[in-house]
Amino acid sequence: MIMACAITRWRMAGLPLCVGLLLAGCTSHAAQQPAPRSQPAQPEMKPAPATPIAEKKDELGEQSWDPQWDVVVEQALSPEMLSPRVAREVRSYCPRFAALSDGDKRAFWAYTFQALAGAEAGLKPTTDVRHTEPEVAVEDTVTKRMVRSEGLLQLTYMDATRYGCDFDWEQDKTLTEKDPAKTILQPRNNLLCGVKILENQIVTQRKPLLSPSSYWVTLRPGTPSYLVFAKQMKNVPTVCREGMPPVETAKRRHPGSSVPAEALAFHAPGSPAAN
């Protein structure tokens, strides 16, 4: 009985020590647990206004610009395309670019690509044109056929090699000419490729949005095709020129053009002014 009591006292005396060790172990384990990772901040996105051709198509109940395409463009933009340095390259249409929030800058670019798609393809994803002009009637190095411009931004399979675009000729060559399943005609693929091409022009080559050597003729000032693009830039986000005098605003809308804005009529894809 005496021995049992002694053992009991020993166990009771050791209990605080055990509890202390247990708690210390738990505390140590908790300290070793990594802190929960905070979710990265989502980039600010804003919808772009509708271009004149998109407004017209909406009125007629025709296929128009899909707002989801704004998201495709805005998510693909690199930090360089939002940097203050780019302001100089886009001042023709967005003189306040450097002062805008990243969300407004993304909306400007989304609108610009909508305008470009309107001028190049009438906003129709399956538009394709085979040019006959000697300067552009060349062989596509990928398809080994005469080059054909396709999709919203009128791109070619050669662009997959030149700019790393997600076009798969081996898959597409078994499909019909305007099959929307073609990788080059899928709006997402076409727009992502266009972002890469324009970023190469503006960031890598340090050339302005409007350049005589632009990939797209519609971005070459002084050409009939450029006037088609200029008309589609009529509804550029208002924050781009907020506070500017009306006369200056009009000049920015159609830089380098003596043609009144109301005279800049839209030409359908395939017409001389649109190609």
Of residues 95 and 18, more confidence is placed in 95
Token pair, residue 73, equals 């463009």
Q: What is the pLDDT of residue 249?
A: 47
Residue 217's nearest CA partner among 166, 151, 149, 158 is 149
pLDDT at residue 180 tops 70? yes
- Euclidean distance between CA atoms 216 and 195, whole angstroms: 12
Q: What is the pLDDT of residue 25?
A: 52
- Mean pLDDT for the stretch of residues 243-255: 54
Give me the DSSP letters along 220-239.
STTSHHHHHHHHHGGG--GG
pTM, two decimals, is 0.77
Q: What is the pLDDT of residue 274?
A: 39
Token pair, residue 163, equals 């700019």
Q: What confidence category does residue 243 fall into, taking pLDDT thresholds of 50, 70 and 90? A: confident
Q: What confidence category does residue 130 fall into, taking pLDDT thresholds of 50, 70 and 90? A: confident
- Mean pLDDT for the stretch of residues 217-242: 96
Q: Which of 7-11, 24-28, 257-261 has the lowest mean pLDDT?
A: 257-261
- pLDDT above 90 covers a percentage of the chain that reads 67
pLDDT, tens digit, 9 for 90 and up, residues 142-177 = 999 999 999 999 999 999 999 999 999 999 999 999
- Mean pLDDT for the stretch of residues 216-230: 96
What are the extents of the domains in the chain?
52-124+194-263
**Residue 241, φ and ψ in degrees, nearest 5:** -130, 25
Strands 149-150 and 128-129: antiparallel
Q: What is the pLDDT of residue 263?
A: 33
pLDDT at residue 55 tops 80? yes
Q: What is the pLDDT of residue 38?
A: 62
Q: What is the pLDDT of residue 44?
A: 86
pLDDT at residue 267 tops 70? no
Q: Are 51 and 231 in contact (CB under 8 A)?
A: no
What residues are paired with 146 via a beta bridge? 139
> What is the identity of the amino acid at 228?
V
